């Protein structure tokens, strides 16, 4: 919401004839404070792999920092059937599948009981296609965050159909942290996010600063100048002035780099600056069709060795 929109909000008249705002006038900086990264419930999907265990540990750390509760979920598929299968046989297959899934999730809970000490946590097994079932459950749970591991896009199946992780990132309007399999370090100290230099950047980056404040990290906002032959000093000064006016945070650092390939530019900057997490918005049209295109986010999610925090800017 812009300041002009705030100023045009409905008013009411007091008994003295004076106009009185229905709500007090709010500055953009005050609005940013209201939109800080809030985490009260976290969904953690698991396929019982080692990387899913790492994602659970990261989620547990975030839960402790935010005093949040966890829902650990395993989505299992309906058993293969055909049209000639008797109804009783199908019913028995479904029941056997359900019992097996509940046994597995119970054992998983017992295995990680020590890691999740002093955290409010629930374990659940659900039937359905993984990405759709997990997103649906996250909505019913009123989750503020989804944390999961990714195996990348190496297998033929992944290349043809995409990974569960990517499908969740693409479809979810709930923020998602995707943890790559090679990731060993859980602590997050330096987060980077590319930005285009538009009005929406203030909201997007302020939201990320809310998370950084809680975990004790710095945010590196990077503007990539794709026309490497033109160094627009006045544009850079304008962006810097705008950020100083709109956002007050010692955790924010601005960077301006010449780079034609945004994906490669992100990877190079991350390698040079010890970046522990990359923030990306999942928006595929309008002002964000260049830097923030979904294809860039997909490449970072599937091929980067750095955790990704993806969130839908339309929902901020």
pLDDT above 90: percentage of residues in the chain:
32
Our measurement of the distance from residue 73's CA atom to the centroid of its chain's CA atoms, rounded to an integer in Å, reads 18
- Identify which of 76-80, 82-86, 179-183 has the greatest average pLDDT: 179-183
pLDDT digits (tens, 9 = 90+) for 156-165: 445 444 578 8
Which residues touch 175 (CB under 8 Å, ≥6 apart)? 37, 144, 145, 146, 309, 310, 311, 312
- Give the torsion through C-alpha atoms of 22, 144, 286, 306, to 10 deg: 140
Q: Where are the domains of the chain?
A: 41-180, 190-315
Q: Is there a common fold for 41-180 and 190-315?
A: yes
Q: How confident is the prediction for the chain on average, in pLDDT? A: 78
Is the pLDDT at 24 greater than 70? The verdict is no
Q: Reduced to 3 states, what is the DSSP secondary structure of residue 94?
A: helix
pLDDT band at 152 (very low <50, low <70, confident <90, very high): low
Instruction: Compute φ and ψ for 160, nearest 5 degrees.
Output: -80, -40
CA angle 40–46–47, rounded 5-degree value: 170
Residue 287, pLDDT score: 41
Q: Which two tokens stand for residue 218?
A: 């710095």
Higher pLDDT, 153 or 246: 246
Residue 12, pLDDT score: 32
pLDDT digits (tens, 9 = 90+) for 294-316: 667 777 776 678 899 998 766 65
pLDDT band at 291 (very low <50, low <70, confident <90, very high): very low
Residue 11, pLDDT score: 35
CA angle 66–70–76, rounded 5-degree value: 150
- Domain 41-180 superfamily per CATH: HUPs (3.40.50.620)
190-315: CATH class: alpha beta
pLDDT digits (tens, 9 = 90+) for 45-63: 998 988 889 999 999 999 9
Residue 185, pLDDT score: 64
Residues 77/131, Cβ–Cβ less than 8 Å: no
Q: Helical H runs in the chain?
A: 3-7, 28-34, 50-66, 87-111, 130-140, 156-161, 164-171, 201-215, 233-246, 262-272, 294-303
Average pLDDT of the segment spanning 102-112: 93
């Amino acid at each position: 919401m812009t300041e002009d929109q705030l100023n045009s909000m409905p008013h009411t008249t007091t008994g003295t004839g004076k106009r009185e705002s229905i709500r007090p006038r709010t500055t953009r900086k005050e609005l940013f404070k209201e939109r800080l990264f809030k985490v009260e419930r976290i969904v953690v999907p698991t396929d019982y792999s080692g990387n899913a265990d790492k994602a659970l540990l990261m989620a547990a750390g975030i839960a402790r920092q935010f005093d949040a509760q966890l829902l650990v979920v395993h989505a299992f598929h309906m058993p293969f059937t055909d049209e000639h299968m008797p109804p009783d046989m199908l019913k028995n297959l479904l029941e056997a599948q359900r019992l097996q899934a509940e046994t597995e999730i119970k054992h998983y809970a017992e295995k990680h009981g020590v890691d999740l000490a002093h955290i409010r946590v629930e374990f659940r097994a659900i039937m359905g296609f993984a990405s759709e079932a997990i997103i649906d459950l996250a909505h019913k749970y009123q989750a503020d965050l989804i944390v999961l591991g990714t195996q990348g896009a190496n297998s033929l199946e992944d290349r043809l159909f995409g990974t569960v992780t990517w499908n969740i990132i693409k479809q979810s309007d709930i923020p998602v942290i995707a943890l790559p399999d090679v990731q060993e370090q859980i602590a997050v100290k330096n987060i980077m996010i590319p930005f285009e230099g538009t009005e929406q950047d203030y909201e997007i980056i302020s939201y990320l600063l809310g998370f950084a404040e809680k975990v004790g990290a710095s945010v590196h906002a990077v503007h990539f100048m794709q026309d490497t032959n033109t160094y627009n000093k006045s544009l850079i000064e304008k962006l810097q002035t705008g950020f100083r006016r709109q956002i007050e945070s010692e955790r924010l650092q601005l960077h301006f780099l010449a780079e034609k390939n945004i994906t490669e530019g992100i990877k190079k900057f991350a390698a040079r600056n010890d970046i522990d997490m990359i923030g990306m918005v999942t928006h595929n049209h309008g002002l964000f069709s260049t830097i923030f295109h979904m294809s860039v986010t997909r490449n970072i999610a599937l091929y980067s060795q750095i955790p990704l925090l993806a969130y839908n800017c339309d929902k901020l």
